[in-house]
Structure 1
Amino acid sequence: MTEPTVEVHPSTEDLLAAAAARFVAVVTAAQAERGVASVVLTGGGTGIGLLEVVRKSPGGIDWSRLEVFWGDDRFVPAGDADRNDLQARTALLDHVPLDPSRVHPMAASDGEYPDPVEAAAEYSATVHAHLAEYGAFDLHLLGMGGEGHINSLFPHTDAVREEHELVVAVTDSPKPPPVRITLTLPAVRRTRH
């Protein structure tokens, strides 16, 4: 494992350009090496801004060979503007020729799994199947909230202390809405970049 590095950019625009170039490089290298690449998307202004930059400069990404997951999502109805899934589709996914069977959104509250624990278990099965075949995600995008959360792993909550499960329901998020589904730190650790 390589040592982490910290890069500082003079502006959000510069950060997004550098992150988008890295996104494209990681995805295209993974596709060249394994045929398929997998990314875990994040929400938030910077995460969605990154997807917009990738849409404008996609490099050599073969969209038909990209598996798309989410690090977390708010457990609200499918059309809710707060859904990371909807924001990512608007910023990038609806504009590129993805194979729909390779896009894995988390369940919405008005979908097939109206209970967040069941929805998390269903997503966990999807994540486990992917990791069993490919070993790890290629890229997991992580934004950080003002209080230090990544995905929906908030400081001092049970979800951030999870040591075994890859996906859990969060029913007490300190940031509205209170119910979410999130990949855990063990899932984050199953990522190459």
Structure 2
Amino acid sequence: VETETLARAEGIPLVTLEEAVSHGLDLHIDGADEFSPRLELIKGNGRCDLRERVVATLAREHIYLVGAGKKVARLGERGNLPVDVVPHALPLAIHRLGHLGLRPVLWQKNGKPGLTDDGNYILDCGLDPQDDPAALEGKIMAIPGVVSTGFFLGMAEMVLEGDADFRLIAEYRLADETAKGESSILRQEAPMPGHGKSVPNRVKIVSDADAMARAAAAHMVELAKQAIAARGLFSVALSGGSTPKKLFELLAKPEWANKIDWAKVLIFFGDERSVGPDDKDSNYRMAKLALLDHVNLKPGHVFRMQGEADLATEAVRYQAEMAKILPHPKDSFPELDLVLLGLGTDAHTASLFPHTRALNESKAWVAANEVPQLSTRRITLTYPVINNAREVLFLTAGPDKVKPLDWVLSGPENVAEYPAQGVRPKSGALWMVDSAAAAGLPLALRGGVA
């Protein structure tokens, strides 16, 4: 009843139970008090488990949202199972539940026995961890007058675990191929070696590449204002590719260019090909023609990676140049305000390609990287620098990015195979993804479209 009242107050349209029975429900979203690796649940601490069960049985798909610490090895580890009992059967239920080894206590509300919205009592039953919760549920439901228990078995297809700020920690889905019906972790954040605790990625879905350019431009404008106000300068590492090019061309237009104090912007690059600055494949050339030539940057505020040089020597030089410009603790890494990145069809980012040496670099800021699969060499910022940035923004668009995006955001951890997984900044990476690229993402990450 409280949920219904709140929904109506917020203007959310509701259907009646009769309508739901006639047409079914596509999706049921609810919370849970604990869940097991098999995605068995205990619910009911909200005192509505009977009504929740009725609604859940009408849905085709079920997703449960839980806070951290709700996952248990066996149901019952948190020590409570609510049981709904009709009032006149209360003495019998208490007696029979005790014989089952449970420890029933009548729920009190405002100093007297509480009633559910359906007029039933709730017995909070202390219990021990259960090896076979289904068997116990069957015995409880055989007691006359018991109408529901907090066991929700065989209902959940997915459980999403989040932190106190509503950020996704892990996504669990039943793995059909496992013999025991155990759940698999579809998505879980974990720290990269040497980089401390990771924060979950943020995913923003936009309709198309043009909408992405507008959203990214607005975000970059806001970051620039904050950085200049706080530190007097805004440092950004640009990337190559067609999607960033749209962003650069938009930022070059007067209505956007005037929103940033370009005289206080420092331009670095995330990577470069082994070509000169006038080559058509040069990331610097693309950025120069699309953006840098059209805004009021100070002379000396653009720091180009010299792709025409010996790249090992250039990596040392570029790191030294960054070190002169960017504040950093001794024996640590600079803190760029923004690193822009793209995603390749092989899940590479910057010039961090699958199974290449630069993936293992933990000390150098910049690395020359042999890319045998492309028969070339590249120069690139390394994970420690990227992950130390205040903000990392991925721009990902197009149907050819469906598979790599799914690998990176939803697949098992394998940084050697999917290098973009290694990008785990302290603030969590922001992924701007167009609808075409997002088509393969799991429901939990798709969200709405901006």
TM-score, scaled to structure 2: 0.40
Does structure 2 retain, via aligned residues, the 8 Å contact 1:24–1:58? no
Query: Residue deviations 1:144-186, cap 9 Å, x none?
Result: 111011110012111122111110112335336x121100111
Q: What is the CA–CA distance in structure 2 between the aligned matches of 1:71 and 1:46, rounded to whole Å?
A: 15
Q: Report deviation, 1:104.
A: 0.2
Please name the residue that 1:189 is paired with: 387
Q: Report deviation, 1:38.
A: 0.3
Equivalence map 1:21-32=2 (5 Å): 21-32=218-229
Q: Report deviation, 1:123.
A: 0.5
Q: Report deviation, 1:129.
A: 2.5
Are positions 1:42 and 2:246 aligned together?
Answer: no
Q: Report deviation, 1:132.
A: 2.8
Q: What is the CA–CA distance in structure 2 between the aligned matches of 1:126 and 1:188, rounded to whole Å?
A: 16
Residue 25 of structure 1 aligns with an amino acid whose one-letter code is E
Are positions 1:170 and 2:376 aligned together?
Answer: no
Equivalence map 1:118-133=2 (5 Å): 118-132=313-327
**Structure 1 unmatched ranges of 5 or more:** none
Q: What is the CA–CA distance in structure 1 between the aligned matches of 2:290 and 2:211, rounded to whole Å?
A: 18
Q: Report deviation, 1:78.
A: 2.3
Q: What is the CA–CA distance in structure 1 between the aligned matches of 2:203 and 2:248, rounded to whole Å?
A: 21
Please name the residue that 1:94 is paired with: 293
SS in 1 for 2:371: coil
Does structure 1 retain, via aligned residues, the 8 Å contact 2:307–2:379? no
Does structure 2 retain, via aligned residues, the 8 Å contact 1:173–1:180? no
- Comparing 123-132 with 23-32, which one deviates more in the overlay? 123-132
Q: Per the alignment, do residues 9 and 175 of structure 1 end up closer, same or farther by CA in structure 2, a change over 3 Å counting?
A: farther
Q: Report deviation, 1:16.
A: 1.2
> Size of the alignment, in residue pairs?
188
Are positions 1:53 and 2:250 aligned together?
Answer: yes
Please name the residue that 1:67 is paired with: 266
Does structure 2 retain, via aligned residues, the 8 Å contact 1:24–1:59? no
Q: Per the alignment, do residues 49 and 37 of structure 1 end up closer, same or farther by CA in structure 2, a change over 3 Å counting?
A: same
Identity of aligned residues (%): 37
Q: What is the CA–CA distance in structure 2 between the aligned matches of 1:30 and 1:125, rounded to whole Å?
A: 23
SS in 2 for 1:118: helix
Query: Residue deviations 1:30-89, cap 9 Å, x none?
Result: 111111110000000011111111112135211111000000001112210100000000
Does structure 2 retain, via aligned residues, the 8 Å contact 1:24–1:54? no
Q: What is the CA–CA distance in structure 2 between the aligned matches of 1:30 and 1:191, rounded to whole Å?
A: 12
**Cα-Cα RMSD:** 1.8
Q: Per the alignment, do residues 65 and 145 of structure 1 end up closer, same or farther by CA in structure 2, a change over 3 Å counting?
A: same
**For 1:158, which of 351, 357, 365 is the aligned residue?**
357
Q: What is the CA–CA distance in structure 2 between the aligned matches of 1:92 and 1:107, rounded to whole Å?
A: 19
SS in 2 for 1:6: strand
- Comparing 88-97 with 6-15, which one deviates more in the overlay? 6-15
Q: Per the alignment, do residues 185 and 141 of structure 1 end up closer, same or farther by CA in structure 2, a change over 3 Å counting?
A: same
Residue 147 of structure 1 aligns with an amino acid whose one-letter code is D
Does structure 1 retain, via aligned residues, the 8 Å contact 2:238–2:270? yes
TM-score, scaled to structure 1: 0.91
Q: Per the alignment, do residues 155 and 108 of structure 1 end up closer, same or farther by CA in structure 2, a change over 3 Å counting?
A: closer
Q: Per residue, is there more helix in 1 or in 2?
A: 1
Query: Residue deviations 1:77-130, cap 9 Å, x none?
Result: 221010000000000000111112111000131xxxx31110111011112223
Q: Larger relative contact order (C-alpha < 8 A, sep ≥ 6)?
A: 1
Q: What is the CA–CA distance in structure 1 between the aligned matches of 2:290 and 2:359, rounded to whole Å?
A: 28
Are positions 1:146 and 2:345 aligned together?
Answer: yes
Q: What is the CA–CA distance in structure 1 between the aligned matches of 2:324 and 2:372, rounded to whole Å?
A: 27
Q: Which runs of 4+ in 1 moved over 4 A?
A: none
Does structure 1 retain, via aligned residues, the 8 Å contact 2:353–2:371? no
Please name the residue that 1:20 is paired with: 217
Does structure 1 retain, via aligned residues, the 8 Å contact 2:356–2:369? no
Residue 174 of structure 1 aligns with an amino acid whose one-letter code is Q
Q: Report deviation, 1:9.
A: 0.9
Q: What is the CA–CA distance in structure 2 between the aligned matches of 1:188 and 1:47, rounded to whole Å?
A: 17
SS in 2 for 1:38: strand
